[in-house]
A and B are shown apart, each in its own frame.
Chain A
Amino acid sequence: MRILLIDDEEELVSTLAERLSFRGIDADWACSGKDALKKIEETPYDIAVVDIKMPKIGGLELRKMMAGKYPDMKFIFMTGHGSEEDFRAGSEAAGAEYYLVKPVDIEELIRKMKEALKK
């Protein structure tokens, strides 16, 4: 599976990509919605793991922009909310089928990726 990690915290996505590679998962990363769009145009990905809140283009907006062109691409959202309960109580949760609260548990991330690909 081809994964694109997107977060404006470069150190977070670059390290996460390296950890995924240790587990046999090929992951690229981008530090903005704009960079992500460019990368997706170059090479479509199976899954985008994206921070909900980023400058200019946030995770939900990115999915909206990509939905027509890449309908099969799955999105897993990362959020800085305090807990899953806090996130579910907010308005953004309605648009996010798969999400993870930061700090991300890598094994849970992999489980969600597999789950998303099965659908």
Chain B
Amino acid sequence: MNHQWEIICNDGFQFMGKMNASISHEIKNVLAIINENAGLMEDFTRMAEKGLPMDPERIKSFARKIQGQVQRADGIVKNMNTFAHSVDEPRKRIDVGELLAFMTTLSKRLASMKEITLTVMPAAMPLTITTTPFLAHHMIWRCLDFAMAVSGPNSTVEITPDKTEGGARIRFKLPTGLIGKPSQALFPSDVENALADVLNGQVRVQQDSGEIVLILPESIDG
């Protein structure tokens, strides 16, 4: 394994672990809510057994809450499954808007912990590329992670995809006033440079506009 792949693999395992931990914490929250609603329903049933009247509306509300949480869990698990299968194919034709929507959904809990909102702007026209899905996810996460690290609480990171002659350009708009801050010197690091290289793309911080710019080719194979 050459040095570049060693960097990508080491960070890739961390990326996978971070996402899985975040997903599992979210599922645990859903289970905790279901558990409390089921427990409360049991408490009410015990009271009814002792002769206290039970309001059917209350029971219906528990059922609704549990159903709502089951739907929430279903969405989380669907994303988890998509993420898990992103390693299956070394090459895939993907919609860039969908890719960004997926990654922001996957990162939503981590962003929310930092009080940051991630917003994906729609592409002006259909935008698809052939790439390595897992590496593209990894690269976008690295850009999001840096954008969130340099953005303060209560801020929004706006992500805009554009079609270019050679493929796709993705801009991560950072809050204003970051230019020249020491953290900017850290990006792109060896990891982002290695990922950009294997994706046959480019990544840079655009100092004048305060954006991270990620360029991905129409096809990773040129």
Contact = CB atoms under 8 A, between A and B. Distances in A.
Interface string B83-122: 0000000000000000000000000000011110000000
A80 B29 contact: yes
Given A15-B33, A56-B153, A80 B43 contact: no
A84 interface: no
Interface of B: 24-26, 28-29, 31-37, 39-40, 43, 47, 65, 69, 112-115, 153
Given A102-B31, A102-B32, A80 B153 contact: no
Given A80-B25, A103-B28, A22 B35 contact: no
B43 A9 contact: no
A103 B113 contact: no
Nearest to A106: B39
A106 B69 CA distance: 20
Given A11-B69, A81-B25, A103-B35, 19 more contacts: A9-B32, A9-B33, A11-B33, A12-B32, A12-B33, A15-B36, A16-B36, A19-B39, A19-B40, A19-B43, A22-B47, A55-B112, A56-B115, A80-B24, A80-B29, A80-B32, A81-B28, A103-B28, A104-B36
Nearest to B42: A19
9 shortest interchain CB distances as A-B pairs = A103-B35, A80-B25, A15-B36, A80-B28, A102-B32, A103-B32, A102-B28, A22-B43, A103-B31
B57 to A, nearest CB: 15
A18 interface: yes
B88 to A, nearest CB: 25
A103 to B, nearest CB: 4
Nearest to B46: A22
A15 B40 contact: yes
A28 B194 CA distance: 51
Contacts of A53: 25, 113
A53 B24 CA distance: 13
Nearest to B114: A55
B170 to A, nearest CB: 26
A70 to B, nearest CB: 25
9 contacts: A15-B39, A18-B40, A19-B39, A22-B40, A56-B115, A80-B24, A80-B28, A81-B25, A102-B31
